Chain A
Amino acid sequence: GENVEQHPSTLSVQEGDSAVIKCTYSDSASNYFPWYKQELGKRPQLIIDIRSNVGEKKDQRIAVTLNKTAKHFSLHITETQPEDSAVYFCAARDSNYQLIWGAGTKLIIKP
């Protein structure tokens, strides 16, 4: 079945710098890759997603890239701000329609 690995587990960046979180997946049939953000004490919320027919997608300071050949996808956050501090989860949808989740990355924005 599908397996998703996410790195790093913790990422600390200076405010204003960029942050990159990477995920790899194992099932070449996976075709949908969302990213969720979970602020402290709150529920996970979708921030961006990408489908396998697209290589990159942007939404303001957030972008996601997908490399189907290498089976990895990444979240890029530019010009980081304090409100970007959170845990970020990647996921891949398997052939049974289930989202297989990465273990999460705690992003810390240093002032």
Chain B
Amino acid sequence: EAQVTQNPRYLITVTGKKLTVTCSQNMNHEYMSWYRQDPGLGLRQIYYSMNVEVTDKGDVPEGYKVSRKEKRNFPLILESPSPNQTSLYFCASSYRGREETQYFGPGTRLLVL
């Protein structure tokens, strides 16, 4: 089954404790992206990757890191989480070119205390 998976789905942590949210897709997509979703603010892009070893900042990259060592995986790293990073996070992937549908993961709800 074609899908984007994220882990964990829910996470409660404390300020300053490093965490990683994993994202994996099995559709051989070149493009992957991370979004955060906050009430009233829609989807805001954190980082994106056009292909392996190619990453770039989105609209709200501060406090986040990413890596793209393999085509299927695109982890989101919070080195020192803060309460303002409490949010719902979505990973998404797509082909580049004619088929451009972005497929979203199920979301990760993060609470930073």
**B42 touching A43 by the CB < 8 A rule?**
no
Q: How many residues of B contact A (CB 8 A)?
A: 19
**Which size bracket describes the interface of A in this complex?**
10 to 19
Name 24 A/B residue pairs within 8 A (Cβ), A-sorted: A9-B40, A32-B100, A34-B100, A34-B101, A34-B102, A36-B102, A42-B106, A43-B90, A43-B104, A43-B105, A44-B90, A46-B101, A49-B100, A89-B42, A93-B100, A97-B96, A98-B48, A101-B43, A101-B44, A101-B45, A102-B42, A103-B40, A104-B42, A104-B43
Q: How many A-B residue pairs have CB under 8 A?
A: 42
Instruction: Please report the C-alpha to C-alpha distance between residue A46 and residue B103 in the assembled complex, in whole angstroms.
Output: 8
Please indicate the chain B residues that have their CB under 8 angstroms from the CB of A101 in the complex: 42-45
CB distance from B60 to the nearest CB of A (A): 12
CB distance from A79 to the nearest CB of B (A): 25
- The answer to the question of B81 belonging to the interface, with a C-beta cut-off of 8 Å to chain A, is no
Q: Which residues does A use to contact B, with CB under 8 Å?
A: 9, 32, 34, 36, 42-46, 49, 89, 93, 97-99, 101-104
Sample of 13 further A-B pairs with CB below 8 A, known A36-B102, A101-B44, A104-B42: A32-B100, A34-B100, A34-B102, A44-B102, A46-B102, A97-B50, A98-B48, A99-B102, A101-B42, A101-B43, A103-B40, A103-B41, A104-B43
Closest to B91 in A: A43
**B42 touching A103 by the CB < 8 A rule?**
yes
Instruction: Please report the C-alpha to C-alpha distance between residue A93 and residue B50 in the assembled complex, in whole angstroms.
Output: 14
